[in-house]
Amino acid sequence: MYRKRFRRSLRSKRGGVLKSALALLTVLSAGGVLGWMLLMPDAVQLEIEARTGFPAEAESMAINPVGGLSIDGKKLTIGNPGAYGGGDAMLEIESIKGSASLSSLGRGEIWLYELEMHISRATLVVNENGRLNLDVFASRLFADPATGAQLPFFAEKVRLVVDEVVFVDNSKIIPSRHGIRAMLDSERADLEQSRDLFGPLFELARGVGALPVP
């Protein structure tokens, strides 16, 4: 039922998502270059940082546009900007694999067929104003850069694996910091909000981490 409503709503909305990457794919496809292609790590860094304000580095990121859009990345690091103390990276992603609807992405609509992300270490930081770094990152990642409005989103299947989590609360008079071996392995389906990609991490932040998370 939701998928039908989602598809109908997508027809009336337009926007831009990963335009630089899609433009590259279009040019390469037009030139007859198909199959697996290696995107320079700098391209990934620029796209993520431009959209979210969080610095990013990737050892490798391969994209295959044939039959949809498949992504296979290794050693992707999302840093903490100065507002969150810099220092330790927010997400140290060992690997990320997924597939999505290429035509939907071209229209500024997010439809993920599947996504698997292995995070070796997450450092969740609440700044002095009470904002959680991951919440800010997730809200910007799939938002319209011009308006800030969330783009239409649906994920059919998501697996999130997290080895270690560090909780930092700088909103207190005396900042706190502690870590756990999370050993989290969560599989979920039919997610309707992009923030839900990191849902289990938000739950850990609220519960085990005792962070002020909305």
**118-174 per-position pLDDT tens digit:** 999 999 999 988 899 999 999 999 888 788 888 999 999 999 999 999 999 998 889
Residue 44: its H or E element = helix 41-52
Residues 6+ apart with CB under 8 A from 122: 90, 91, 92, 134, 162, 164, 165, 166, 201
Question: Whole-prediction pTM value?
Answer: 0.80
Which of helix, strand or coil describes residue 167? strand
**67-111 per-position pLDDT tens digit:** 778 888 899 999 999 888 878 899 999 999 999 988 887 788 899
Burial of residue 36 (number of CB atoms within 10 Å: 0-12, 13-18, 19+): exposed
d(CA 180, CA 172): 20
44 pLDDT tier (thresholds 50, 70, 90): low
Predicted pLDDT of residue 84: 84
Quick check: 171 and 129 in contact, CB under 8 A? Answer: yes
Mean pLDDT of 52-71: 83
Phi, psi of 180 (to 5 degrees): -140, 155
32 pLDDT tier (thresholds 50, 70, 90): very low
Predicted pLDDT of residue 112: 94
Quick check: 38 and 72 in contact, CB under 8 A? Answer: no
Mean pLDDT of 10-30: 45
Q: Which residue has the higher pLDDT, 43 or 50?
A: 50
184 pLDDT tier (thresholds 50, 70, 90): very high
Is the pLDDT at 14 greater than 60? The verdict is no
Alpha-carbon distances, residue 36 vs 60, 62, 64, 66 (angstroms):
12, 7, 5, 9
**56 has which bridge partners?**
78
Predicted pLDDT of residue 2: 52
DSSP collapsed to 3 states, 89-112: CCEEEEEEEEEECHHHHHCCCEEE
Mean pLDDT of 45-65: 85
Predicted pLDDT of residue 75: 92
- Give 112-116's long-range contacts (Cβ < 8 A, gap of 24+): 112/154, 112/155, 112/156, 112/158, 113/68, 113/156, 113/157, 114/156, 114/157, 114/158, 114/159, 115/155, 115/157, 115/158, 115/159, 115/197, 116/158, 116/159, 116/161
Predicted pLDDT of residue 15: 43
Residue with tokens 């932040």: 205
Predicted pLDDT of residue 158: 97
Q: Percent of the chain, pLDDT > 70? A: 79
Predicted pLDDT of residue 40: 54
Is the pLDDT at 11 greater than 90? The verdict is no
Sequence letter at residue 162: V
Burial of residue 59 (number of CB atoms within 10 Å: 0-12, 13-18, 19+): exposed
Sequence letter at residue 169: D
The whole-chain average pLDDT of the chain stands at 81
